[in-house]
């Protein structure tokens, strides 16, 4: 497997270099410095916040934890990696770069921030710099910080993944599925949210700071909170369980959601219907499909699920027309995924940065582009029973279409969501997530 990653990385590296060289030429820059970033201290404290490397940096090197270094890209020269390996007895310095990737760089080892600055100071011509707020002032002064024209070109192109990137996400999904299986087992044994969360991390072999995002581990009614991350310690007679949790490989993310029920009851039947609907939506994801249209179609399909389970008394088309689905499905169908969980460029209509915002009545949709081969996105429909939104719907005329006694039956279970990561291919799609679940059976 490592040989395959090595082979794919060589092609990936060449593709990245060509992409960046073209962007530099178009925007009339000679060089781009990509600063990895560094952790910043907690306010009025000497401890530090969790660190996430600049995603532009992570696309070049499998160093998601590397702080204080930089990539230098020119139009033709071999890309340079300035690798900060400080002399430090308080912390463990980064290990020597090794493996399949360092040979592709002009490697410069720096022992201090000043040496990083020195290794970046010999670049002639016009320089761009991509960095966050942690970049030292003397490095920030070397170039134009985060120029929109250049970043727009890179973000638009990043939607199309190389085979190396797709393979990294396959492996991230394989790791995450191990965690999901452990979490389901813990739930069925009566574990608390905190215990389930810890079992998930243990099975993935990644601590919470290494995971690509904070796990959502929601028992019973907590499933109605879309980004629930409380991890309660009590057991509270778990009946339903929603887990949205991922993993990382070489800095690339997986993002998976599953929902379970302890009993073979009406909520379990709803989960089954939602799962089938999610697979139907996945099957319709292919090159040339407008993701906005796919999201709108998902709303109609989810309305049909609510009708099937006695929640709505109108047609699916009427439920969508009256805005009822904004109560039961209040988020978007999915998003790009890659070096970031919510990867960039989802609303970008052109390489120059023109935006295509989501429809006014679907403001939370993160992806509005047409699917193309090489893109990787999530498909994550859900149905929820959220008190605040239910109250608003009940007070409206559209609330007359709702069977409120049936809603009361579902409220204690919170909600359900099913999410897979899919890779759009030339002829359809590859489901990165379900392939890994199937491999464990």
> What's the pLDDT score for residue 1?
47
Name the one residue in this structure whose structure tokens are 């490592």.
Answer: 2
Q: 246: closest CA among 339, 374, 361, 369?
A: 339
Sheet holding 80-84, edge to edge: 106-110, 80-84, 70-74, 31-35, 127-130, 144-145
Fold of 163-440: Creatine Amidinohydrolase (3.90.230)
Which tokens belong to 425?
């291919």
Whole-angstrom CA distances from 10 to 1, 4, 55, 251, 288 are 15, 10, 19, 17, 29
Phi, psi (rounded to 5 degrees) for 256: -130, 140
Question: Tens digits of per-residue pLDDT, 259-296?
Answer: 999 999 999 999 999 999 999 999 999 999 999 999 99
- Four-way CATH pick for 2-158: 3.40.350.10, 3.40.190.10, 3.40.470.10, 3.90.1260.10: 3.40.350.10
Is pTM beyond 0.85? Reply is yes
Which tokens belong to 437?
């679940």
> What's the pLDDT score for residue 2?
57
Rounded-to-integer distance, Cα 369 and Cα 374, Å: 13
Beta bridge partners of 74: 31
- What are the structural domain ranges in the chain? 2-158, 163-440
Rounded-to-integer distance, Cα 388 and Cα 327, Å: 9
Rounded-to-integer distance, Cα 419 and Cα 423, Å: 13
Which tokens belong to 375?
């893109």
Give the residue ranges of the chain where pLDDT is below 70.
1-2
Rounded-to-integer distance, Cα 268 and Cα 155, Å: 40
Rounded-to-integer distance, Cα 437 and Cα 441, Å: 7
């Amino acid at each position: 497997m490592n040989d395959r990653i090595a082979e794919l990385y060589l092609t990936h590296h060449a593709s990245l270099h060509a992409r960046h060289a073209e962007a530099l030429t178009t925007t009339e820059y000679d060089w781009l410095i990509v600063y990895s970033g560094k952790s910043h201290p907690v306010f009025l404290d000497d401890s530090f916040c969790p660190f996430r490397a600049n995603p532009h940096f992570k696309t070049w090197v499998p160093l998601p934890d590397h702080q204080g270094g930089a990539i230098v890209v020119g139009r033709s020269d071999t890309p340079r990696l300035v690798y900060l390996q400080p002399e430090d007895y308080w912390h463990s310095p980064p290990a020597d770069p090794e493996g399949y990737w360092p040979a592709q760089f002009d490697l410069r080892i720096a022992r201090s921030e000043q040496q990083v600055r020195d290794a970046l100071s010999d670049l002639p011509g016009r320089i761009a710099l991509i960095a966050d707020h942690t970049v030292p002032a003397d490095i920030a002064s070397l170039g134009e910080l985060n120029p929109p024209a250049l970043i727009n070109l890179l973000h638009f192109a990043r939607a199309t993944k190389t085979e190396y990137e797709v393979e990294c996400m396959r492996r991230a999904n394989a790791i995450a599925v191990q965690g999901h299986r452990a979490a389901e087992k813990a739930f069925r044994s009566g574990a608390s949210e905190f215990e389930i969360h810890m079992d998930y991390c243990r099975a993935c072999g990644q601590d919470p700071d290494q995971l690509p995002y904070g796990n959502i581990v929601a028992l019973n009614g907590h499933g109605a909170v879309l980004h629930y991350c409380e991890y309660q310690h009590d057991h509270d007679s778990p009946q339903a369980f929603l887990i949205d949790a991922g993993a990382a490989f070489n800095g690339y993310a997986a993002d998976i959601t599953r929902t379970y029920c302890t009993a073979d009851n009406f909520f379990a039947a709803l989960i089954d219907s939602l799962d089938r609907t999610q697979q139907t939506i996945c099957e319709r994801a292919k090159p040339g499909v407008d993701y906005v249209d796919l999201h709108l179609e998902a709303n109609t399909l989810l309305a049909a699920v609510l009708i099937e389970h006695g929640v709505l008394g109108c047609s699916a088309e009427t439920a969508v027309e009256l805005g009822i689905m904004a109560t039961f499905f209040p988020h978007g169908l999915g998003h790009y995924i890659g070096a970031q969980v919510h990867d960039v460029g989802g609303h970008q209509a052109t390489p120059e940065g023109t935006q295509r915002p989501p429809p006014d009545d679907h403001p939370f949709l993160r992806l509005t582009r047409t699917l193309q081969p090489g893109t990787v996105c999530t498909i994550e429909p859900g149905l929820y029973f959220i008190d605040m939104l239910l109250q608003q719907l009940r007070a409206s005329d559209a609330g007359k279409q709702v069977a409120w006694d049936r809603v009361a039956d579902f409220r204690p279970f919170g909600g359900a969501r099913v999410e897979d990561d899919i890779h759009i291919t030339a002829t359809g799609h590859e489901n990165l997530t379900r392939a890994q679940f199937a491999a464990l059976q």
